[in-house]
Structure 1
Amino acid sequence: MALTWQPTSGAQFSGGYAREKQEGPPPVIDYRVEGQPRLTFHVKMPDREPIAAPVESVVGGRRHGLSFLFRLQELEGTPLARPALIEARYLHHSTSGDLALSPGFPTEKPASYETAMGIVLSPGFEKKCLGCHGSPLHDRTGQAGVRCEECHGAGQPHLQALAKGRPSAGILDPRKLSNEKKIELCAQCHAGFSELVDPLPQDVLISNQATALRLSECYIQSGQGFSCLNCHDPHRNSRRDDPVHVKTCLGCHSTGLERAACPVNSKDGCIDCHMPTVTQGSFPLADHWIRVHPEKASSSSPRRNIARSRVVPRRLFLKILVVRDRAEAESLREQLLKGASFFALAREHSLDPSAPEGGFLGEMWVDKMDRALAAAASRLAHGETSEVIPSRGQFVILQRLPRDFRWQAIALEEEASALKAKGLLEEAIEKYQQALQLSPHFLRALVFLGVSYGEKGEKERAIAALEQAAYLFPNDPSAHYNLGIAYGAAGRAAEEIRSYRRAIELEPDLAPAYINLGAALLSSGQAGAAVEVFERALQVNPLSATLYYNLGLARQEQGKMEEADRAFLLAGKIDTKYR
């Protein structure tokens, strides 16, 4: 059984357990967790009465930290829209024994009880969370944590087989599954709480290791050649220095297999370079998105021809340039070899539909490509440009993108976002555009480019960028949510409302989309529909001051003053700016 749950009366909380934390700058917020007579979480905002709630569950393992879950029924005597199960902002750090900010929580000092308490678990989130971390109170079996049945199937058939002297029957043995099926088992707990669209490495760092592994080039190019079980024994904690980790890597990347030898170190040290530890707050987290890290460039060993991969790729990232005349194609190739921009030449000369995006084809699966183009592309190393390829009466040049093209784009996007945070919108927009030249199908850069145009007052450009994001990534709620904002700024109310509804359809827990949808409905004279939206949203997050305040406005519009006053009262208790 995985130790994903701890009793609130366990040894680590006995003997008068009491921990305190202050969060500044002044005036500070006071936090306290104490274990007598019952484990209780306390929060005190400046100039407010302290809030205390009994801890319902303690989740996590003893290796890193233990998170506190408490349920809040009311606030200063006023019942919430529903009892809220909250993951406390501060947890018990196993190494120091003190309270520490929980990984993934915002680092800014909270301005209201909504964020000072922690994170409210929506009903769906709560079910998923307690499915892996639940205490016996939440499970009819009376067992806590991840049980044998989660990976091995129902136990009764196995017991019956044992009684008949067949100890290997009636039980699922994960070792006999395909690698993809093995990862699916692990993904029950280690694939986050919702499907991510075009994720970045930091998006899959916490509780999303299965997703990160599936995104790794090693996993893809090896044809799903390994799984979590190559490195992890599910019945015990893994050691970072376990030799089995390197053994897994050397199954493909050793001098004995010259087609894919590592040019830096073909014997050991794989994990520190390709799965480095990332520290969030005071917690070390293993990055399971296996890749070459440009920031860890090494000059310890020169690259050798032996290190050039001889693996026939399954997937490539490509650019294409197509013209009708061979002489023109040869001339363009010469320019490319001399350092000319593929992006610029493709936009000016290429006949391919990808020309507006600088010839960017993006992800291409070799077995689905034209045979001649696939053969030429498969011979390319990262960053190389092909010979001119005759194809159906035209002439084609392919370029395989550099290994780190996406990471270069991410670095530019991060620079852009830093500029945007300083209010330097012109400079930010230029950086976002540079990121999109490297990776035109980069969701976050597209969305933030559109948002930046909107903040700059360029409404049509904002809409164009966000429509492109929603077109390329139709299942991403953030693209539709921000597109709704852009439509609203342009006075296109019907499209605004439709975009928010689509965002909520994709992510039913997206509280900001409910807030904006309700406000748009209220502005268009649909107070009843707005009330329905706000009340539905409060079932997602019953600790949102903005939702209560907007519900009060909608009830006021309906002439239902008693209900409006009750909503306004709760809004003010959660966040004093609404008083």
Structure 2
Amino acid sequence: MAGTWQGLDARDLPPGYSASTREGEISYQVRRTANRITWTITTPDRPPLTAETEAVLGGPRQLSFLIRVRDIEGVTLDRAPLVETRYLYSKPRNSLELSPGFPTERPVSYQTSLGRVLSPQFENKCRTCHGAPATGFGGEAGVRCEHCHGPGADHVQSVKKGVSQVGIANPAKLNNAARIEQCGKCHADGRNLADPMPEDLLISDQADALVRTECYIQSGQGLSCSTCHDPHRDSPADAERYTNACLSCHSLREKQHAAICPVNAKEKCVGCHMPAKPDGSVRRVDHWIRVLPSAAHTAKSDPGLRSRLKPKRIFLRTIMVDSRTKADEIHAELSRGGSFFDLAQRYSTDTSAVSGGFMGAMSVDELEANLANGASALRYGEISPVLSVNGKSTIVQRLPRDFRWQADRLYEEALQLKADGRIEAALEKNQEALQIYPRFLRALVFLGSTLGEQGEPARAVAVLQHAARLYPEDPGAQFNLGIAYGSAGRPSDEIQAYRRALAVEPDLISAYMNLAAALLAAGQTEQAAETYRQAIQVNPLSVVLYYSLALVYERQGNAAAAGRALAVASKIDPAFVKRQARSQ
């Protein structure tokens, strides 16, 4: 089974291994001696900071180091966190390389140079999924049988009694949704993922990506992780098993087949539809199976290659009017290139008119019969003829398969325009994204936060309230709504919004910071101090948290506590503390 927790044994790390690397003026060194692995970070004008490695985890290609940081230059932290070091060991290169997901900007203090602080909640997940001793049922290190099959003692007893199937979980007997959920206990990072894009799911969210694919949804949950992967063996880079999984639906051998690839209908499906992204010495495979917008081809369209399956889910937008004559006029205008969004807003009597007719993801089986039949016959991007639906003359469009990616491209352009200081152009570009995908969470948050920054708090609140209603479990929507409430002079609502964000994501440091500031502004000094203390338990290497707590202690007249918090802040990032002191 998987030796994902190697402890200090670290069989894949060479004996006596020693390596170093630099980022500007900061140097990193790892050294293995007998049963110890130490990490040393050296920064200018500071004594070297050496921390003991508590465990090594990973597989045959990369090893990550978890160090325990108890103090900095003799000043004890409020919690001794487990920290994933900024650099990992690459076995193919026999050297250190930047760990996946870490910012590429050069660190300027211990807050970023040490690595990623594991909150108590995340540390528990990390240890459990990688199989730290005593976290599984059997107490062995690594991912073992009982991680997936459950404790085996009852099974052993049942076998002795001649009843072999009692007391053990067999994932092969689960339906596909339950199998994926089982894998997702570790192959999904546990966040509440509201409206993600594929790149958000590359590192540790393969299960989340798979269940969002058209393959999974349109097949009626017809595949699972084990469709392609043997859970007891490492996966090869390319395997016939992957192609066979695709061709079980996308093959002309099947009478009722899914769409046939016009580029290569027989092999090499994964390279195009699940591309791998190089990340240091490993490849991250995109498990959001799809036709990528960048995969343009010149193959001639062949009606015989179209899917013969009735879709189970479909993204639609609609225009509904009372008059057939009016519907015909609208359809003619659409045929001349008119904007579906604008025409829906102008004429549709449906409640979706406000969002340009956007209905979102619809289960075909739950649609009215005429609407279901008309929509199911559409190809991606096509507009229906006028349909009669519940006494209304109705026009529907099946959204393009890549409509979310079209919206995301426009959103990225809006971000760049804003970074260039072109705010009005950025808002216009972002609005284009929202016309394509009116429920695009990051575009809604961008709109709300930008309006707030431009001195329009009422509009900002309205937009972000809408985003929070659409995605109540998204901490970012609640967090930004809190900022908007603050700008609108609604401190009570602001405080509650930050608390909702933390209820969803207890490790969201920015929400702690804003909540503490709002409490302080409301005169709730002790609650503000407690909020900072809670945040420090999440990340005891945050200079801002210690410094802010010191200021609150000063306000309370607690000089000793203020001095201690300031001392820790000064050890983490002395330059930050000096800058703050000069600005007072």
TM-score, L = length of structure 2: 0.95
Residue type of the alignment partner of 2:282: F
Post-superposition CA distance 1:473-525 (Å, at most 9, x none): 11110011011112222322122111111111111111110011001111121
Give the AA of the match of 1:406. Answer: R
Query: Which string of whole-angstrom CA distances, capped at 9 and with x for unpartnered residues, describes residues 446-465 of structure 1?
Result: 11222222333333332232
Q: CA 1:95 to 1:457, structure 2 compared with 1: closer, same or farther past 3 Å?
A: farther
Shift of 1:12: 3.7
Q: CA deviation at 1:158?
A: 2.5
Kindly provide the CA deviation profile for residues 433-454 of structure 1, in whole angstroms up to 9, marking residues without a partner as x. 1111100001011112222223
Match 1:236 to one of 225, 228, 233: 233
Deviation at 1:424, TM superposition (A): 3.0
Partner of 1:205: 202
Q: Distance in 2 between matches of 1:7 and 1:475?
A: 36
What root-mean-square deviation, in Å, do the aligned CA atoms of Structure 1 and Structure 2 show? Answer: 1.7
- Superposition deviation, residue 206 in structure 1: 0.9
Q: Which amino acid is the alignment partner of residue 305 of structure 1?
A: P
Counterpart for residue 174 of structure 2: 177
Q: Kindly state the Cα deviation for residue 36 of structure 1 after the two structures are TM-superposed.
A: 1.9
Which residue of structure 2 lines up, in the alignment, with residue 466 of structure 1?
A: 464
Q: Which moved more, 1:544-553 or 1:129-138?
A: 129-138
Judge conservation of contact 1:103–1:283 (CA < 8 Å) in 2. Answer: no
**Segment of structure 1 superposing worse, 533-542 or 138-147:** 138-147
Q: Per-residue displacement from partner, 1:519-559 (whole Å, max 9, x unpaired)? A: 11111211111011111111111111111111111111111
Q: Counterpart of 1:504 in structure 2: which amino acid?
A: L
Residues 217 and 383 (structure 1), Cα distance of their counterparts in 2 relative to 1, 3 Å cut: same
Q: Which residue of 2 aligns with 1:501?
A: 499
Match of 2:453 among 452, 455, 468: 455
Amino acid at match of 1:228: C
- Partner SS, residue 447 of structure 1: helix
User: Could you tell me which of 384, 401, 404 is aligned with 2:402?
Assistant: 404
SS in structure 2 at match of 1:395? strand
Matched ranges for 1:383-532 at <5 A: 383-532=381-530
**Residue 140 of structure 2 aligns with which residue?**
143
Alignment of 1:353-368 (within 5 A): 353-368=351-366
8 Å CA contact retained: 2:513, 2:545: yes
Identity of aligned residues (%): 51
Point out the more displaced range, 422-431 or 330-339. 422-431
The amino acid that maps onto 1:158 is H
Structure 1 distance, partners of 2:40, 2:307, is 57
How many Å apart are 1:140 and its aligned residue?
7.8
Equivalent in the alignment of 1:129: 126
Label 1:574 to 1:469 Cα distance change in 2 as closer, same or farther (>3 A): same
- For the residues of structure 1 that align with 2:557 and 2:113, how far apart are their CA atoms? 33
Matched, 1:545 2:543: yes
Amino acid at match of 2:169: L
Distance in 1, Cα, partners of 2:117 & 2:31? 21
Q: How many residues align?
A: 574
**Aligned position for 1:332:** 330
Residues 19-40 of structure 1 show CA distances to partners (whole Å, capped at 9, x for unaligned) of: 111113xxx2111111125101
Which residue identity lines up with residue 326 of structure 2 in the other structure? E
What is the match of residue 87 of structure 2? 90
Map of 2:560 onto structure 1? 562
Instruction: Sort the Cα spacing of 1:558 and 1:478 in 2 relative to 1 into closer, same or farther, 3 A.
Output: same
Match of 1:274 in 2: 273
Segment drifting more, 425-434 vs 234-243: 425-434
Deviation of the 1:78 alpha carbon: 1.3
1:370-399 deviation digits (Å, cap 9, x = unpaired): 222122111111111111112333211111
Which deviates more, 35-44 or 538-547?
A: 35-44
User: 1:83-132: CA deviations, max 9, x gaps?
Assistant: 11111111011221111111111111123211111111111101111001
CA deviation digits over 1:339-372, x for unaligned, max 9?
Answer: 1110111111111111111111111111222222
Question: How far does residue 48 in structure 1 lie from its aligned partner after superposition?
Answer: 2.0
Q: What is the alpha-carbon distance in structure 2 between the residues aligned to residue 569 and residue 194 of structure 1?
A: 34
**CA 517–476 in structure 1, closer or farther in 2 if over 3 Å, else same:** same
Amino acid at match of 1:537: A
The SS at the match of 1:22 is: strand
Give the corresponding residue for 1:153.
150
Aligned residue in 2 for 1:71: 68
CA contact (8 A) 1:321 1:396 kept: yes
Q: Distance in 1 between matches of 2:30 and 2:456?
A: 49
Q: Shift of the alpha carbon at 1:227?
A: 0.7
Structure 1 stretches lacking a partner, 5+ long: none
5+ residue gaps, structure 2: 579-584
**TM-score normalised by structure 1 residue count:** 0.96
Cα deviation per residue 1:8-27 (whole Å; 9 max; x = unaligned)? 23344343211111113xxx
Secondary structure in 1 matching 2:359 = strand
1:184-217 alpha-carbon deviations (Å, 9 max, x no partner): 1111110113221111111111111000000001
Instruction: Specify the SS of the correspondent of 2:311.
Output: coil
Name the CA distance, whole Å, in 2 between partners of 1:535 and 1:378.
55
Structure 2 distance, partners of 1:516, 1:542, is 17
Residue 190 of structure 2: aligned partner: 193
Q: 1:293 — aligned with what? A: 292
Answer whether contact 1:475 1:506 (CA < 8 A) is retained: yes
Residue 69 of structure 2 aligns to a residue whose secondary structure is: strand
